[in-house]
Amino acid sequence: MPATMPWDLFPNVRTVLATVAVYLLAKTAIQWWRSRLRNLPPGPIGFPIVGAVPYILLSSVSPQETFRCWSQIYGKILSLRVGNRIFVVLNDFDMINEALHHPDLQNRPTQTIEALQKSTGSSHALHTGVTTANGQAWKDQRRFMHNVLRELGVNKTLFEEHIQSEVTTITGEIDLLKGKPFDPQELLTCPVSNIICGVAFHKRYNYESLEFKHLLSIVSTMSGFPISASAIGTVPALRHLPFGPHVKFIQCFKEFHEILDNLISDRKTLGVVDSGTVNCMIDAYLLEVEKTKLGRGTLTDFMKRSTIHANIGALFFAGSDTTVTTLVWALLFFTLYPDVQVKCHEEIDRVIGQDRPLHLADRPNLPYLEATIAEVQRMGDIAPVGVPHSARCDVQFHGYTIPKKAMIIPNIHAVMFDEHLWDNPYSFQPERFLNKEGQFVKSPKLIPFGTGPRKCLGEQVAQMQIFLFLSSLLQRFTFLLPNGAPKPTLEGTTGVTFKPLPFQVRAEPRAVVT
């Protein structure tokens, strides 16, 4: 007697399963055919409802490397579907440069931002900040931010002294370790973030402050979950799931904005509006809000507390996370390529010596160090997929149609490791940024902060910090692996930035050169 199968007991189950399978296959085929009719760039055939999400989540490599591999199959420009959204991924420098300068591709994907806001239950209009706003609102915000940073002395002696103060503190912390191994990510986050705290709300924390540690923990958690953020932004229904990484993200998101609310209230309590003095970004916004109420402001009615929240958040992630990640990659490369570290030491000793601190004015006289920083930013692949853009309208681009509201992903990772742009791209070679005379030559194809009108606003702050921190650390210490420790891997985790996997180094004080 043959064995009884489940569908023999429930004959309708087979029919239902077969019907569902046929429906899903038909829907997938229809979606693929529609994409061809719409003249979308080629790309992988997605699954019903979720699109290409399973390919990305189940891939053994990072999303940016997955896109790069797909470009070898579908071409330098490809498209994919995530939920009900169309993504267009660019894997070529010329295409990225053209797209990020195209006037109709300068928007941010507000649908995703608004869905994220709904998912987190935030009362703040997240699309009002300089990173996320569109049209005239974005232009006003960007101009205002530039003016505020200039008024606060960014790229001037006062701001340099602020950075040098944190550099002195952190070198003292390293001295106290007396050669013991440490996690560079943990050690460098405090001083770099303190600088951003000063710019944002005129406050410096003690490194052991519980309030400071809580703030850094929140920022660190949020910066590690961009996939979760984009997932609940694209498919808001996911917020109802009681499990998953998005739960922690939503909690941190709310806590971050509660902290900002308290800091804004603190600045108002100090009477900033009455004094008219600007010591930080919050002060500048409070004064501008007051001017707007009196009809004397230069900005429109989008100037609300939500805008302050959005811009302080952008400053934290652009000016702090990017800088710390770059410095950590630099220390990792120094342990793997000790000859590069020796050359940096020799240049600093020859040009500056060890009896005075370094200054921004020294940068032109340290070409090998500048080339090393550039190579760290290239091979460290700090921001592998940049910040997404969105199409304002249907755009004809390289023979294809980028539909209105499609999300454009500039795969900067593909540029950083393009063998047609860089000789032996997987080898750490600062010399690639030096000419025959040994002078530093910045390549236009090195775009760690993006390119075009919407390139990272925090680039200037980040570059200042990277140079002053790294040069000062090299002047004082030699960075080595702990005795007996295995060599760190160049693999990493993709969040807001691409971070190396946790590792430890030890710092030996350098002998005084006479």
Contacting residues for 331 by C-beta, under 8 A, at least 6 apart: 184, 479, 505
CA distance 33 to 30: 5
Query: Which residue is listed with tokens 């109802």?
Result: 240
Find where tokens 């606060």 sit: 152
List binding-site positions for heme.
456
d(CA 346, CA 425): 25
CA 198, CA 280: separation in Å to the nearest integer?
A: 7
Q: For residue 237, what is the DSSP state?
A: G
Q: Is the dihedral of CA 453, 458, 461, 466 positive or negative?
A: negative
The distance of Cα 24 from the centroid of its chain, to the nearest Å, equals 37
Q: Where are the alpha helices (DSSP H) in 301-457?
A: 305-316, 322-336, 338-351, 367-380, 412-416
Token pair recorded at residue 150:
């200039």
CA distance 91 to 497: 18
Q: Which has the closest alpha carbon to 402: 123, 98, 162?
A: 98
Single-letter amino acid code for the residue at 469? F
Helix (H, G, I), strand (E, B) or coil at 396: strand
Residue at token pair 């700090």: 382
Binding positions are 456
Phi, psi at residue 232, to the nearest 5°? -75, -20
Cβ–Cβ < 8 Å for 371, 431: yes
Q: Any long-range contacts for 292-300 (C-beta under 8 Å, 24+ apart)? A: 298/140, 298/144, 299/140, 299/141, 299/144, 300/136, 300/137, 300/140
CA 383, 331, 159, 259 dihedral sign is: positive
DSSP annotation string for 190-211? HHHHHHHHHHHHS----TT-HH
- Give the H/E segment covering residue 510: none
> CA geometry: angle at 378 spanning 199 and 476, to 5°?
60
CA 222 to chain centre: 11
* Angle in degrees, 0-180, between the axes of helices 245-269 and 110-120, rounded to the nearest 10: 90
